[in-house]
Amino acid sequence: MPDHRHYMQLALAEARKSPPKPTNFCVGAVLVDSIRDEVLSTGYTLELEGNTHAEQCALQKFAQKYHRPVAEIGQFLPPGTVLYTTMEPCALRLSGNLPCVDRILQTRDGGAEGVRTVYTGVHEPEKFVGENRGRSQLEEHGVECVHISGLEDEILQVAQAGHEREA
C-alpha cells in the first residue's frame, strides 16, 4: 500500500524545481506503480521544452524511457498506475496545449487500464482559467480523484512562487 503523504511530498519536492513565473503555477507530479510501490516517473512545471505542465512532463518522460509515443503509454503502464500531483490537473490550457486531463484520459485509450486514480494536494486557484473542471472531468470518465490533505498551505506557497502578492 503506497504511503500517499510520502508521494505527495515527493510531488511537492518536484514542484520546488519549477522556475517561478507570474503566468504559471509551480506544480509537481509523480507517476507511481501502486502495486510495486515504485516511482515510474516524475515531472514539474516547465521541466521539458515548451510550456509544459508537471503531469505532462511525468507522462512524457515515462514514454521517452520506453522509446514510445506519449499517446501510446497506456499500453505499457503497469496495472495499478496512479498519479500524484500537487494541484488538480488542468482541464483547459490557454496556451492551446493539450490539457492534462486529456493526457491522463489518453492513457486509457484502446482499452488500456492507464491511470485510474489521481491524488491531488489542492484545487487549482481560479487565477488563470476561472473554475477548473479537471477533477469533475476525470471523475466523469471513471478516474478516481482523491484529495491528500495536510500540505495545502505549503503546496499553494510553492505553486504561487513568482506571482505578485495581493495587497
- Active-site positions read 55
For the chain, give the DSSP string. Answer: ---HHHHHHHHHHHHTTSPP-TTS---EEEEEETTTTEEEEEEETT-STTT--HHHHHHHHHHHHTT--GGGGGGTSPTTEEEEEEE---S--TTSSPPHHHHHHHTTGGG-----EEEEEEPPPTTSSSS--HHHHHHHTT-EEEE--S-HHHHHHHHTTTSPPP-
Q: State whether the Cα torsion 15-16-18-20 is positive or negative.
A: positive
